[in-house]
Amino acid sequence: MRPLNKFSLPALAIGLCLSAFAGTPARAEDPAYITLGAGGWEAMRQNLSKPEVDLTFRSDYRLWILKPQAGALAAGDGDFYTYGGFLTDIYFGKHIVLTPSANIGYYGGSGFNLGSRFEFREGAEIAYRFEDAYRVGVAFYHMSNADITSRNPGSESLLGTLSIPIGSLFSSGKDQARSYNNTPKTAMAQFSPSSNYVPGPVPAYNY
């Protein structure tokens, strides 16, 4: 199968923008994440495909709907890539999250020649968000130099991902779940037998 060409990049950007109108913006309470990825490097060139591992920090800092990220990947053929960029989270319902991203970074190694030391990486992840804010998903990314050099073969990655809330690394699971699911109680819940409501003394009236 042939890799994506340069015309796929505008199409990808348009598709991601359209998907934003179908979903809802990122949740304000979403935490910063450490995201682990594992899968295939050169996923669309079967004769060159190698294992790939990714490590990404996803900030909870917001600039409009965008959040910064930074990370690195290493491939089984000796290639590596360090990058920084921006992402946004688009919710479809309560648990399904689409996360498109765009990055620029430094590419090197002894594997497949992508034509430049500076490469762009765009793509998206679709993930399931659990109640404790952990996410499990699948991601697809395209890397190219946007024809800044005469050689621009491009490269694709297909990964399984696990996003770990950074707060969970320093607190118990119970505290983490309470932190990201602290919804207000209804009046019925506040006065239910299972709540901590304790009635005060009944006032006395003299007639």
Per domain, the residue ranges of the chain are 8-190
Residue 141 has pLDDT above 80, yes or no: yes
What's 8-190's CATH class?
mainly beta
Between the alpha carbon of residue 92 and those of residues 24, 104, 139, 159, the distances in Å are 7, 28, 16, 21
**What is the C-alpha separation between 100 and 89, in angstroms, rounded?**
7
Specify the pTM: 0.73
Q: Which residue bears the tokens 């919804």? A: 183
Model pLDDT for residues 145-172, shown as the tens digit of each residue:
999 999 999 899 999 999 999 998 887 6
